[in-house]
Amino acid sequence: MHIDFLKYLTQFDHNLLLLLGFSLLAGTLGGRLFQKIKIPQVVAYIIFGILVGKSGFNILSDTTISSFLPFNHFALGLIGFMIGGELKISVLKKYGKQFLTILVCEALSAFFIVSILIFTVTFLITKNGLLSISISLLLGSISSATAAAGTTDVLRECKSKGLLTSTILGIVALDDVLALLLFAVSASIISTISGLNNVSLLMNFALPLYEIFGSVLLGLIAGYILSITLLHYNDNERILIFILGGILSVIGLSLFIKVDMIMSCMIMGFVISNKTGKKSEDIFHLIDRFAPPIYILFFILVGANLNIGELSFFTVIILICYVIARSTGKMLGAYFGAVFSNVPKTVRNFLPFTLFSQSGVAIGLSILALQKFPGKVGTLVAVITTASTFIVQIIGPVFVKYALDKSHESGLNITEEDIINKTTLKDFLTLNSPAILISDDLSSILKVFSETTNIFYPVITEKKEIAGIISIDEIKDTFMYNELAHLLVAIDIMKPVEKTYYSCEPMKNVLTDIKKYGLEFIVVVDNKSCLGLIETRSIYQQLSRKLLEIDSLV
């Protein structure tokens, strides 16, 4: 019996690993293909998930998908943490009122438009007032939530930066709070009018408030403790372990005390980002490099969990109305909220295209509705929310990318590493850089030194071939032979060059050698000709200058 169990367990693990590996590879290839045709990669991940899930070939069964629940929690916690890291106190102080105005307008606009349209259509079809009110209020409150995952994935893929990006992050980070409150109010009203309310009105409001404030408190405490810890370490491996351990711990505690894990992780990320100063950039860059495989598998599982084959005609009608009403409400609310808050035209024109996505919190609230109102109401709400999630998760990222491209914020969130990965030595080489001929006498050499600020100079032959290198140290040594100085030429003073590089050499490789060998300069050649010399300090200065030029565009 014991042997049979071990055999079964081993086979299951191997199958699970095979599914994981295949999903990761296929999802990545599909994502790259979609990226080439200007469609966000997240769409490819979800479509692949649909193909291998319940709506497709059913390779990922319900049992397998359920076994990934802890992984989904981890992915959502990671997403929340990264969102929190993008929220800077300086930005919130400057634009906080504007964010809040837009947030309230877009959430309430979606709530009222969805509620009114769904009530009207449902009542016309069913002639059942209680059913119509129940479905409309529940779907209205759920419609106010915006998915962080799909939206932030596009922001990361597009490397966007600017006021529109900051506004999107601020809204998707905070509108879940409003969705929870609206759901609590709606559930309380439905319970009261339907006679199902065995809980006091006070408790109906107290529970979501506990969930919100509990999440904030947990995130603040965890963020403070982790910030102090991280400031004492510079080792990337230890920092990564501490961060991942912190995220997992906060997720586990959130589930244990029944508070919102995404919000808890978001607050923790917010605290760490603002308390660790300049070090926060390295911390979040480290997590950002770790996260892509997690995101890919998460969105594949989102697609696999969608079942679009169990829709009746009535459900399809309500679904269409819900998607249209929610999209209209989000767009109108975001636009007028932007007008009321007097934000720049770029945000006002393109923010309405960025708030369509819906997943985590909306699905969670629909499941809660199913538990609170079992039967036709709960089932219908859960099915419509799930089906609409499929639709908006496909179109949402496409519109986010459109808005970022049109607002010219795509490609502005460039890091030093991005520049290094995209450049070669040629991009850092100064044209007509000074050089010393092998036959130049000391006075000519001193003239070159006096006219420029370099420390190192290449010595070349008449055919422009590299012969050696002269630095200030070599010039100092000539003072020991003052009486013979007029006889010295470059070939007498120079030192040999140990290593040369072609102009097409990737900057990434060059910097690796600089750190490995402690190089103070790089001699650049093309075939046998010397193109010039770049000092290490100049490379880093140019990198900083390029970053400042990009930041000035934001």
Looking at the DSSP bridge assignments, the partners of residue 323 are none
Lowest mean pLDDT among 259-263, 342-346, 366-370, 470-474: 366-370
Which token pair is 222? 């965890």
Give every CB contact of residue 438 below 8 A, 6+ residues apart in sequence. Answer: 459, 460, 461, 462, 467, 468, 489, 490, 491, 494
Strands of the 529-535 sheet, one edge to the other: 500-502, 521-526, 529-535
3-state secondary structure of 287: helix
Q: What are phi and psi of 410, to 5 degrees?
A: -70, 140
Assigned token pair, 29: 């290839």
**Which ranges constitute the DSSP H helices of 258-344?**
261-275, 279-290, 292-304, 313-340
User: Domain locations in the chain?
Assistant: 41-413, 420-551
What is the DSSP secondary-structure string of 87-143?
Answer: --HHHHHHHHHHHHHHHHHHHHHHHHHHHHHHHHHHHHHH--HHHHHHHHHHHHHHH
Residue 45 pLDDT > 60: yes
* Helix 163-194 vs helix 201-230: crossing angle, to nearest 10: 150
Q: Is it true that 41-413 and 420-551 share their CATH fold?
A: no
pLDDT given for residue 204 in this prediction = 61
Angle between helices 360-372 and 163-194 (to 10 degrees): 0
Tell me the pLDDT tens digit for each residue of 427-450: 888 767 788 888 888 888 888 888
Percent of the chain with pLDDT over 90: 12
Q: Choose between 495 and 35: higher pLDDT.
A: 495
For residues 215-220, average pLDDT: 90
Class of domain 41-413: mainly alpha
Neighbours of 128 (CB within 10 A): 13
* Cα separation, 471 vs 372, whole angstroms: 79
List, for residues 106-122, the tens digit of each pLDDT value.
Answer: 999 999 999 999 999 99
Residues 181 and 212: their CA atoms lie apart, in Å, by 9
Please name the residue that has the structure tokens 């290449």: 458
Structure confidence by residue, pLDDT tens digits, 73-100: 888 888 778 877 777 777 667 667 888 8
Mean pLDDT for the stretch of residues 350-356: 89
Q: What is the distance between the alpha carbons of residues 412 and 75, in angstroms, rounded to a whole number?
A: 26
- What is the CATH number that goes with domain 420-551? 3.10.580.10
Between 269 and 372, whose confidence is greater? 269
User: Virtual CA dihedral for 93, 99, 104, 106, nearest 10 degrees?
Assistant: 180
pLDDT value of position 275: 86
Nearest to 168 by CA among 83, 248, 235, 230: 83
Copy the structure tokens of residue 495.
């030192």
pLDDT at 311: 67
Whether 199 and 191 have beta carbons less than 8 Å apart is answered as: yes
Task: Say whether pTM exceeds 0.85.
Answer: no
Q: Which residues contact 356 (CB under 8 A, 6 or more apart)?
A: 327, 330, 392, 395, 396, 399, 400
The two counts, helices (H) then strands (E), for the chain are: 23, 6
**Residue among 441, 438, 489 nearest 461 (CA):** 438
DSSP SS3 for 399:
helix
Q: What count of other Cβ atoms lies within 10 Å of the Cβ of residue 200?
A: 10
Specify the pLDDT at position 108. 92
Q: Mind listing the pLDDT tens digit for each residue in 515-545?
A: 888 888 999 988 778 888 888 888 888 888 8
Q: Has residue 492 got a pLDDT over 90?
A: no
| pLDDT score for 491 | 86
Backbone angles phi and psi of 99, in degrees to 5: -60, -45
